[in-house]
Structure 1
Amino acid sequence: MATKNSHAGLTVVITGASSGFGKGVAQKLGAQGANVVLAARRRQLIEELAIQIGPNALAVATDVSKEEDVKHLFETTIGAFGAIDVWINNAAVGVIGPFTEVPIKDIRRAVEINVIGTIYGSHYALRHFKEQQIGTLINVGSVSSKIPYPYYTPYSATKYAVTGLSAALHQEIELEGYEHIHVCTVHPWATDTPWFEHTGNYTGHAAELKPMDDPEIVIDAIIDLIDKPKESVDTGIKAKSAAISGHLAPETTEAFNAKYVQKIIQSAPPAPPTSGSLHEPMQTGTGVSGGIRERMKLEEQQQKRK
């Protein structure tokens, strides 16, 4: 178990730090003595979080889809702490619905944030790590970057891209002989964070997927990679089982998964179309947890009463 000062003095950049995994990682690492640099579009939220964590936290308003913002994030961190030890590319947005019903501008935005944003962060981080001969890059993928998720098609496509980027970078760093530079990828199962509240949604139903993992599983996996780097980690038993099934019986796994996702979407309560937080940040959904498991439990209880 990590102790209070187990990461004292370590400087960690975390994108997507205003809620979900990013916020949870920042809180834990800050409590363990790390210098945490909080990056997100929601300036007020990360500034409030930095105050809560203490003097070892720095908030930098960042839209990762803009190269100038990522450059500013990098330069501000170096100016404040002198070096970066860990860079976590966590910022991501979702968009779900029948592919032909999702506006092209929303699909493009998902690519800009999830793929281009990860490329920008990886580029600045690895260039710095090569200069200092040490550092850890952690990219957040998804179970949907190993098994295709219909109706999550734009998101699944972007996460496949993140996984491919990370795998190629891992090999490149090994070939160049950088023994103390690590490129890691985390693959979570569907997790109860505000992601589902923030996602663009054109399914006609509330955004939810069941069963869902607790975000602490993913948060702990990300932090664990700082001390014990691995190329790829599937977080939790459901993600591990899906990865094994997808490897051993890909066609059966994909067909089962497709029908299951469709069933879950169709059984969720009705909901109007929304672009979520794709183009403008939302003021709601600010916690580590999204409270979705509790909502789904109430929905099931109401169904049973009918």
Structure 2
Amino acid sequence: MTKESTVAGQTIVITGASSGIGRGAATRLAGLGANVVVAARRGDVLDDLVSEITAAGGSAVAVPMDVSDPEDVARLAETAIRRFSRIDVWVNNVGIGALGMFWDIPIEAHARVVDVNLKGLIYGAHTALRHFLSEGQGVLVNVGSIDSEIPLAYQASYAASKAAVLSLGRTLNEELRLSGVGDAIAVGTIMPWAVDTPWWDHAANYSGRTARMAAMDDPSIVIDAIVAACTNPKEEQPVGPKARTADISHHLFPDHTERLSAKTADAESKKGAPLPATDGSIHQPTPGGTTVDGGIRERMKREA
């Protein structure tokens, strides 16, 4: 798990790879010589991604699946092992959101967020760690959020699920230490600030306005963090200056930081353009939004 380690030749599973940071990480890791196993619900989009990677000389295989289905997760692992003999790194990257006041969001949307962001991540972690324990080594990378540390208004169930992701990672690392394999198997949690990806357009939205957040980060810094975590995982890894500052602030001044976070979310939401209530793509995938960058920053400029 050293910084000098390389991902070349490693087999890396990446969920949520059809767009956003998952797609960007898959492309980057394949370019560094890793065998990437890309997973998401949109099989046609994954096929395009695999074609893009192989045309550039990389190695990739696509597995259409839904992380909230444990049988799909098991099939993902089986495909990776059958194709490349082993799994070295598993990146739990899928995350969906439901935006709006908690009571305005249908309970089915909250349940779906938990099914994907928490239960789906647990299925992936369980599958990956059982394989790593049988092999004696491995890295599990869970993509959380700065919301893992700081609750965020208008994203209650998302923030709750991401807080659980961080707690799970901490607990798993302690259990690995107790089992005597903490030096060979590690769990890292990536904690980005708001990132400009298609996530915002894919989210269910009951706020009445288009989704937005102040000072969004470029996806590239999160992709860099995921790539680094594949060989040098950190239990808690806030990504970028804004996330690191928010993390420190919450440890020192929790109530003040939470109120400031809520005021920021509220002020940003009120700047959005009117939007009818939508389930986005949380229940069924939609064709739009297959890029790494979401174009949200450009939209926010137009709204301003």
Q: Does the pair score TM above 0.5?
A: yes
1:185 paired with 2:199, answer no
1:253 paired with 2:253, answer no
1:239 paired with 2:243, answer yes
Provide the C-alpha distance between the structure 2 equivalents of 1:230 and 1:137, rounded to a whole number of angstroms.
Answer: 10
Provide the C-alpha distance between the structure 1 equivalents of 2:286 and 2:217, rounded to a whole number of angstroms.
Answer: 23
Aligned to 1:272: 276
1:202 paired with 2:206, answer yes
Q: 5+ residue gaps in structure 2?
A: none
- 1:295 is displaced (CA, Å) by 1.3
Displacement over 4 Å in runs of 4+: none
Contact 2:90 2:141 in 1 (8 A): yes
1:65 paired with 2:45, answer no
For residues 1-306 of structure 1, the aligned pairs below 5 Å read 6-54=6-54, 56-178=59-181, 179-300=183-304
Encode CA deviations 1:190-249: one digit per residue, 9 max, x unaligned. Answer: 000000010000000001111100000000001001222211100000000000000000
Matched residue type, 2:9: G
Contact 2:7 2:231 in 1 (8 A): no
Contact 2:271 2:303 in 1 (8 A): no
Matched residue type, 2:139: T
Aligned residues: 296
- 1:60 is displaced (CA, Å) by 0.3
Encode CA deviations 1:35-85: one digit per residue, 9 max, x unaligned. Answer: 000000000001110111016100000100001100100111110111000
- Summarize the Cα distance change of 1:6–1:130 in structure 2 as closer, same or farther, 3 Å threshold: closer
| 3-state SS of paired residue (2:46) | helix
| 3-state SS of paired residue (1:286) | coil
Provide the C-alpha distance between the structure 1 equivalents of 2:159 and 2:235, rounded to a whole number of angstroms.
Answer: 20
* TM-score, length basis structure 2: 0.96
- 1:175 is displaced (CA, Å) by 1.5
Provide the C-alpha distance between the structure 1 equivalents of 2:62 and 2:109, rounded to a whole number of angstroms.
Answer: 27
Percent sequence identity is 49
Provide the C-alpha distance between the structure 2 equivalents of 1:66 and 1:226, rounded to a whole number of angstroms.
Answer: 25
Encode CA deviations 1:166-208: one digit per residue, 9 max, x unaligned. Answer: 1111111111111210100000000000000100000000011
Matched residue type, 2:103: T
Provide the C-alpha distance between the structure 1 equivalents of 2:37 and 2:256, rounded to a whole number of angstroms.
Answer: 43
- 1:6 is displaced (CA, Å) by 4.7
Point out the more displaced range, 266-275 or 232-241.
Answer: 266-275
Encode CA deviations 1:2-22: one digit per residue, 9 max, x unaligned. Answer: xxx952211000000000110
Provide the C-alpha distance between the structure 2 equivalents of 1:23 and 1:58, rounded to a whole number of angstroms.
Answer: 13
Matched residue type, 1:82: S
- 1:280 is displaced (CA, Å) by 0.3
Provide the C-alpha distance between the structure 2 equivalents of 1:299 and 1:48, rounded to a whole number of angstroms.
Answer: 32
| 3-state SS of paired residue (1:227) | coil
Provide the C-alpha distance between the structure 1 equivalents of 2:189 and 2:7, rounded to a whole number of angstroms.
Answer: 20
| 3-state SS of paired residue (1:275) | coil
Provide the C-alpha distance between the structure 2 equivalents of 1:32 and 1:256, rounded to a whole number of angstroms.
Answer: 40
Provide the C-alpha distance between the structure 1 equivalents of 2:9 and 2:70, rounded to a whole number of angstroms.
Answer: 27
| 3-state SS of paired residue (1:269) | coil
Matched residue type, 1:280: Q
Provide the C-alpha distance between the structure 2 equivalents of 1:229 and 1:275, rounded to a whole number of angstroms.
Answer: 34
| 3-state SS of paired residue (2:230) | helix
